[in-house]
Homo-oligomer: A and B are copies of this chain.
């Protein structure tokens, strides 16, 4: 990481190899994510990652200290954007919570549809036993942030009388769970999709989750 920082922070002085060296860390990270996803952290070979990133075996070590450091950098690098999204939309949409939730769901679904994006949480899941710290990092920086954002939206919706008086945490669970399930089904189990476009999934999701299953309302 120190290495990466050092390499990528020297933007001021003009270099001859500019494009290459500047872009390298990112290229390696991408290559690593692909290899890790395909083979798993342990089974992935550093040389394959290097080759995929367009350099030789030893080249990776110019940017990352070790395989584990590469993994760590990878997780941290890919985590930020996701978490930030959640926060921003949540704040922006306090005025119209239900609409904000819809926006968020739409964003989450379309992002999770991209294998590249889903690859990171998937990796974290696979490695959680061996590297609990990554799982913890992910929980703290991504899931809890998103959760808090969603809960406040739900709370707002309840306050406005737009939602029933339910446990916000349970609502969030009901909101995210199906999206997670669908992503697992698609990327991990490689099951076939039951709808033609993502839009259809979103629609279904809202239909069921926002409106409920039961025909007759008891409460």
Closest chain B CB from A151 CB (angstroms): 10
- A135 beta carbon closer than 8 Å to chain B: yes
Contact at B136–A208, with CB atoms within 8 Å? no
Contact at A184–B174, with CB atoms within 8 Å? no
B-side contacts of A216, CB under 8 Å:
162
- A window 138-191: CB within 8 A of B: 138-139, 143-144, 161-164, 166-167, 169-171, 173-174, 176-182, 184-185, 188-191
Contact at A177–B181, with CB atoms within 8 Å? yes
Specify how many copies of this chain sit in the oligomer.
4
Contact at A135–B190, with CB atoms within 8 Å? yes
Contact at B167–A136, with CB atoms within 8 Å? no
- A54 beta carbon closer than 8 Å to chain B: no
Closest chain B CB from A146 CB (angstroms): 12
Closest chain B CB from A157 CB (angstroms): 8
Closest chain B CB from A84 CB (angstroms): 19
B-side contacts of A144, CB under 8 Å:
191
B-side contacts of A129, CB under 8 Å:
37-40
Contact at A174–B127, with CB atoms within 8 Å? no
With A and B bound together, what is the CA distance between A179 and B194 in angstroms?
21
B-side contacts of A177, CB under 8 Å:
174, 176-182
